[in-house]
Amino acid sequence: MAEDLFRLPLQTIAAVLMAFVWMRWHDMREIAWGAFSALFVVRASVEGTVGEASARVLGALLGVVLGVSLVLAADVAGASPLWSIVAGVGGAAYLSIRWPMLSYSLVTVTILTVTPDGDILGGALNKTLAIAVGSASGILAALAVLPLSARRSARQNLAASIDAYGDMLVDWAAAFNEGRQRPRLHDRPIMERARWRARDMATQACAFPLDRLTSRLSVYQLHERIEGLWRTAPIMERAGSFVLSERTCHDLGPALHAVAAALKQQIGCLASALGNEEFTQSCRVPDAAMQALDDAIEAALRCPDCDATERQAIGVIRWIWQEVAREVEDLAGYLLEGRVGAVTA
């Protein structure tokens, strides 16, 4: 994310300069429209910029068609210009609500209906060409200046987030074994940053329309699968607030640590698969580790010193770790089917 502090300003400057130079060289009008389009389409990735630029051009075209047709229709019918404004802005607003990517149609239709030129067709054409040049300049800048693939970045951040999650499991089990406070999510901001970055990049990676026309797995779908694992984190954090006796922590600690270590190893395999797109074998959590944990929990529940509140807390802890193991196993099976290779850079 730190690279964005340099990448985005450089790409934005390059995009605006390219749009300005190209339009001055070809003596095109509406240079401001081209420069502003170049300024606002640049995103943190190539795919994000392409998606934003495509949406801007498409929205502008729809707004131009709507605005020009309504102004001409009002002129022919001798109607008040207010009708073209109301109909144009209302129609563009509906399109923007129905398809948010077309929101730029509001800008062009408003400009054309509120302040129509004497030559409305020529003015609309000049604005459309300027928007297209600015959007194309943004795409070229994203490709030429420190380009970043959203799909690759999403995979890397997904790998980093689940790898950090595996570390948290080990630390949680170690803290339980030692009878100290279990780690909390806000103590590990790197996990949330990686998770947020992965979500953002996954969204940008789906910007290409072809992603919606192919049967191959998109990185966004993969991100949604991994979110299932992440949803266990708040429950794990809540379980960390349970107050248990030193005896219970001592009895369950070694078994929990063994399961956490096995889960960490399996999550390491998943992180490697996400980063390298190679996943040929599953690192399963040994059944013996889960069985040992279950036996330790049953023994703790049978202890006469264990009251009802502690029994309930132990039951919740068992359920949580079973859910974590199930989510990790489901994700491993999902990747083992060979689908990770479908997420291409």
SS3 296: helix
DSSP-assigned letters across all residues of 216-283? SPPHHHHHHHHHHHHTHHHHHHHHTT----HHHHHHHHHHHHHHHHHHHHHHHHHHHHHHHS---S--
**Residue 303 predicted with pLDDT over 70:** yes
Q: Could you report the per-residue pLDDT of 147-174, keeping only the tens digit for each?
A: 998 888 888 888 888 888 888 888 888 8
- How many angstroms from the chain centroid is the CA of residue 169? 24
In the block, which residue shows the tokens 């699968």? 225
Identify the DSSP state of 343: S
Query: Residue 284 has what pLDDT?
Result: 65
Q: Could you give the angle at which helices 189-205 and 46-77 cross, rounded to 10 degrees? A: 50
pLDDT, residue 229, reads: 85
CA-to-CA separations, 176 to 181, 245, 246, in angstroms, rounded: 7, 11, 10
Enumerate residues 6+ apart whose C-beta is below 8 A from 212.
Answer: 206
The structure tokens listed for 118 are 């004497």
More confident residue, 15 or 160: 15
Whole-angstrom distance between the N-terminal and C-terminal Cα of the chain? 19
* Whole-prediction pTM: 0.78
User: What pLDDT score does 145 carry?
Assistant: 94
* Cα–Cα distances in angstroms (integers) from residue 82 to residues 77, 87, 123, 259, 274, in the given order: 13, 8, 20, 70, 56
With cut-offs at 50, 70 and 90, classify the pLDDT of residue 33: very high
Tokens of 16: 């605006």
Give the type of residue at 245: S
Residue pair 139/49 in contact (Cβ under 8 Å)? The answer is yes
Task: Output the pLDDT for position 216.
Answer: 45
Q: What are the extents of the domains in the chain?
A: 4-144, 150-342
Give the model's confidence band at 208: pLDDT under 50 very low, under 70 low, under 90 confident, else very high.
low
Residue in 203, 217, 213, 224 with CA at minimum distance from that of residue 51: 203
How confident is the model at residue 16, as a pLDDT?
Answer: 97
Tokens of 281: 């074998």
Q: Select, from the ranges 40-54, 169-183, 236-250, 330-344, the one with the highest average predicted confidence (pLDDT).
A: 40-54
- CATH no. of 150-342: 1.20.58
